[in-house]
Amino acid sequence: MVKYVFVTGGVLSSVGKGIITSSIGKMLQARGFKVTAIKIDPYVNVDAGTMNPYMHGEVYVTDDGGETDLDLGGYERFLDLNLKKENNITTGMVYKAVIEKERRGSFLGRCVQIVPHVTNEIKKRIRTVAKRSNVDVTLTEVGGTVGDIEGLPFLEAIRQMRLKEGYENTLYVHIALVPILDVTKEMKTKPLQHSVNELRRIGIQPDIIVARCTKMINSEASRKIALFGTIPEGAVFCSYNVETIYEVPLILDKQGMGGFICKRLGFPERKPDYKEWKDFVDAVLNPEHEVEIALVGKYAGLTESYVSMNEALRIAGATCRTKVSIRYIEAEKFEQNPKEVEILRGFNGVFIPYGFGPRGTEGKIMAIKFARENNLPFLGICYGFQLAVIEFARHVCGLENANSTEINPNSPHPVIDLMPEQRGIEYKGATMRLGAHKIILKPDTTAYALYRSKEIYARHRHRFEVNLDYLAKMEENGLVFSGKSADGRRMEILEQPDHFFFFASQFHGEFRSRPGRPDPEYYGFVKACLDRKSGKPKPEF
């Protein structure tokens, strides 16, 4: 019998619900229980793929090609899972399915309603994930804040789930902000009380309340939360500010949350084993070295746009006991003042992330040129890979005005072009080349040294690719494509053998990076930055 933990949030969004959900999973895993996690996003988009990362944060890509909410990345990293498209449920998805059924005549003769038809569809989706994942506990995080109009059908659905699944198989966790007033330094629990009331109005009485506060809440605040929330004081926990998010399961478990959840779900008491997790946290908190990396991007104002890349860099850093400091630089700065690119000299490496559209691309190309000419470690991901090809074509192969047709459709040398299967596609949703694809690596290359395998799988999200008409020219000039698709027609990894470390991939290694098990391309880059800084003649992997 699978058990369900539902997580809701109050007062404000962005209080770290995703991290707390992941942490609950970690506490259960540390006791030997199998878990999976679902994110519910009440927006009407069918998936996150059509949203601007600058507004909503990055789009997280799953192995099966789902374009999902970034919280799935948190679940995968914390819980070492490979989730599926179905682990992200949206209003758009649910209504689309219900309306299609209605058109097919599945509800013939009946009036189709939010309760029960929409709520049934939601419950069915949650239960399907639980059943297919074959786990002890399914965590379901409801995005947004209690009281949002869009969230109501989902809250109603999770309320109903207790009726069928039973009290001992369902647990409601509510997370809300407890602000501290600047002037009096008082911890204010009133907003949290209101959000609990709002939840109760819908018919959900939380079993656990997590106060999100900058500091550990005092006993007075905790007493008040318990009293007004109608729960024992032992069911109130606090997620306070810590140096790294990976500490959150440890601080919550220390307060007794893991034991409380197990008891409440009727599990036998087990001692948690955090050995590996603690080693990783220790490596994050106590680095012996430091490298500074320039991330030259277009969404630099919102770090959430690059959260998986960020984490992949830090995770790679932890493996070599290195603190990775990331400076976000708007690529357009270099376009406005080309001399600015000189600031890259002060960094240990240059990183060019994913991206779409023309804005900022010339600035990124300038940064790539600088890294290539100055033997500065370089890693390019997806658009970063494509722009490295353009830079090489222009400045090494002498192909003037070489470009991607995404940036300039009239370029005389379209070295990056739309993939053939993308021609004629009209719908924007879920139509890119998505998810995990096989890649064959070339022996005696940096790629091979890093992955130590002839064949790898990595996740993709793109419409454009290297134009094969220019392949010979680039290879003659020294660019090595050390990773290609199984049929050899799609370029996946490039490197420059005479450079200290110049590496880029069409795929996104960050989506497979896990604490203690960094993705090889990120590890290679961070290690190269460190080795270059310490004066080694070449990187040692």
41/406 with CB nearer ligand GLN: 406
In whole angstroms, the minimum distance from the beta carbon of 515 to ligand GLN comes to: 24
Specify the 3-state DSSP secondary structure of 233.
helix
| Pairing relationship of beta strands 208-212 and 60-61 according to DSSP bridges | unpaired
91-104 vs 119-133: helix axis angle to the nearest 10? 110
Does 383 sit near ligand GLN (CB under 6 A)?
yes
State which of residues 26, 364, 461, 490 lies at the interface with ligand GLN (CB under 6 A): 461
Active site residue 529: no
Active site residue 238: no
d(CA 59, CA 48): 6
Longest dimension (CA), the chain: 77
461/514 with CB nearer ligand GLN: 461
76/406 with CB nearer ligand GLN: 406
Angstrom CA distances, 513 to 245, 315, 317, 351, stand at: 16, 7, 12, 16
Does 464 sit near ligand GLN (CB under 6 A)?
yes
| Number of residues binding to ligand GLN, judged by CB under 6 A | 11
Residues numbered 153 to 182 that lie near ligand GLN (CB under 6 A) are none
In whole angstroms, the minimum distance from the beta carbon of 356 to ligand GLN comes to: 4
Does 459 sit near ligand GLN (CB under 6 A)?
no
d(CA 43, CA 522): 33
Query: Per the residue annotation, which of 413, 437, 460, 508 is the catalytic one?
Result: 508
Sheet strand arrangement including 208-212: 88-90, 35-41, 137-142, 3-10, 170-177, 208-212, 236-239
Both tokens assigned to 189: 């629990």
> Among positive and negative, which fits the CA dihedral 96, 98, 99, 101?
positive
Active site residue 510: yes
Both tokens assigned to 252: 């919550």
Which residues, in sequence order, are CB contacts of 108 under 8 Å at separation 6+? none
Contact 384, 391 (CB under 8 A): no
Does 297 sit near ligand GLN (CB under 6 A)?
no
Which residues, in sequence order, are CB contacts of 160 under 8 Å at separation 6+? 119, 123
d(CA 388, CA 214): 42
In whole angstroms, the minimum distance from the beta carbon of 405 to ligand GLN comes to: 10
d(CA 63, CA 73): 12
Does 514 sit near ligand GLN (CB under 6 A)?
no
Query: Per the residue annotation, which of 58, 495, 510, 521 is the catalytic one?
Result: 510
Residues numbered 257 to 286 that lie near ligand GLN (CB under 6 A) are none
Residues numbered 179 to 218 that lie near ligand GLN (CB under 6 A) are none
130/381 with CB nearer ligand GLN: 381
Query: Per the residue annotation, which of 213, 262, 382, 397 is the catalytic one?
Result: 382
Residue 436 has φ and ψ, to the nearest 5°, of: -80, 130
171/382 with CB nearer ligand GLN: 382
In whole angstroms, the minimum distance from the beta carbon of 437 to ligand GLN comes to: 14
Does 406 sit near ligand GLN (CB under 6 A)?
yes
Contact 29, 249 (CB under 8 A): no
In whole angstroms, the minimum distance from the beta carbon of 368 to ligand GLN comes to: 14
Residues numbered 342 to 371 that lie near ligand GLN (CB under 6 A) are 354-356
State which of residues 270, 463, 473, 517 lies at the interface with ligand GLN (CB under 6 A): 463
**Which stretches of the chain bind ligand GLN, using CB under 6 A?**
354-356, 382-383, 386, 406, 461-464
Would you name the residues annotated as active-site residues? Answer: 382, 508, 510
